[in-house]
């Protein structure tokens, strides 16, 4: 363990023993990096600030789970990144480069241009349909399919029981099927 990791472990142990000033030290030291990380994901400084604050609250609640095998900054950074990604998914945002990169891949593989256009249109239609789902269902669908997150991790990240995650996903997929949004365009 690095000297920084050992120092972080000592501060975390102090927090767990009831020293809230030790947590303030950790937050003050890491807040700038965590806010920056959130802003990279979200693009909005105010929203990044809110998510970073929520990440520090979540980290405080989960502090007993900090193993100390890395720095506190890296640990809270992972929490913040997951929360920022979840927030982004909940808001239905995607990076503009995602569609372009998929298009480049299809072109590089020599795919039929007509099929490529159909695939891109279907993807956009599906994204719009997901955006219209209720927020709880949209979040689960986005995390599962757009972020490729396993259901167990979604349950952990969203603090929702696994059964609830499964039922939200089931209801969302049923709704998309009813609307015909899961069928590829012909």
Instruction: State which H helix or E strand residue 37 sits in.
Output: helix 20-42
CATH of the domain at 133: 1.10.10.10
The pLDDT value given to residue 49? 93
pLDDT of residue 108: 43
pLDDT at 144: 82
79 lies in some domain: yes
Domain boundary (90, 124, 145) is at 90
Q: What is the pLDDT at residue 52?
A: 93
Q: Is residue 184 part of a domain?
A: no
- The structural domain count of the chain equals 2
| Domain range for 147 | 96-179
**pLDDT reported for residue 100:** 40
Query: Where are the strands (E) in 91-163, listed by range?
Result: none
Q: What is the CATH number of the domain that holds 76?
A: 1.10.1740.10
Long-range Cβ contact pairs of 23-32 (< 8 A, separation 24 or more): 23/60, 23/63, 26/72, 26/76, 27/56, 29/73, 30/72, 30/73, 30/76, 30/77, 31/56
Out of 90, 118, 137, a domain closes at: 90
Give the per-residue pLDDT at 18: 92
Structure tokens at 2: 């690095």
* 75 within domain boundaries: yes
| Total H helices, total E strands in the chain | 9, 0
Residue reference for tokens 């998914």: 89
The model's pTM: 0.51
pLDDT, residue 161, reads 94
In a domain, 149, yes or no: yes
Range 34-39, long-range pairs (CB < 8 A, 24+ positions): 34/73, 34/76, 34/77, 34/80, 37/77, 37/80, 37/81, 37/84, 38/80, 38/81, 38/83, 38/84
Could you tell me if 71 and 112 lie in one domain? no
Is position 140 within any domain?
Answer: yes
Closest residue by Cα to residue 105 from 126, 90, 120: 120
Same structural domain, 75 and 101? no
Q: Distance between CA 69 and CA 75 in Å, rounded?
A: 9
At 125, list the tokens.
Answer: 């239609």
Residue 174 covered by a domain: yes
Question: Over its length of 186 residues, how does the chain's per-residue pLDDT go in tens digits?
Answer: 567 777 888 999 999 999 989 999 999 999 999 998 888 888 888 999 999 999 999 999 888 888 877 788 888 988 888 888 777 766 655 443 343 434 444 344 444 555 545 555 656 677 778 878 888 888 888 778 766 778 998 888 788 899 999 999 999 888 888 877 555 444
**Domain termination site, one of 90, 105, 129:** 90
């Amino acid at each position: 363990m690095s000297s920084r990791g050992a120092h972080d472990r000592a501060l975390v142990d102090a927090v767990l023993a009831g020293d809230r000033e030790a947590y303030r030290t950790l937050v003050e030291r890491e807040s700038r990096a965590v806010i920056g990380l959130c802003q990279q994901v979200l693009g909005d400084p105010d929203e990044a600030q809110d998510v970073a604050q929520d990440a520090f609250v979540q980290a405080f609640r989960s502090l007993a789970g900090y193993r100390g095998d890395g720095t506190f900054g890296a640990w809270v950074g992972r929490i913040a990144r997951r929360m920022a990604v979840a927030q982004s998914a909940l808001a239905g945002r995607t990076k503009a480069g995602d569609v372009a990169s998929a298009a480049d891949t299809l072109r590089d593989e020599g795919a039929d241009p007509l099929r490529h256009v159909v695939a891109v249109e279907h993807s956009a239609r599906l994204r719009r349909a997901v955006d219209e789902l209720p927020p709880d269902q949209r979040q689960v669908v986005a995390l599962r399919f757009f972020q490729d997150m396993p259901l167990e991790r979604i349950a952990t990240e969203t603090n929702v029981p696994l059964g609830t995650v499964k039922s939200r996903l089931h209801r969302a997929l049923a709704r998309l099927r009813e609307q015909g949004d899961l069928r590829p365009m012909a």
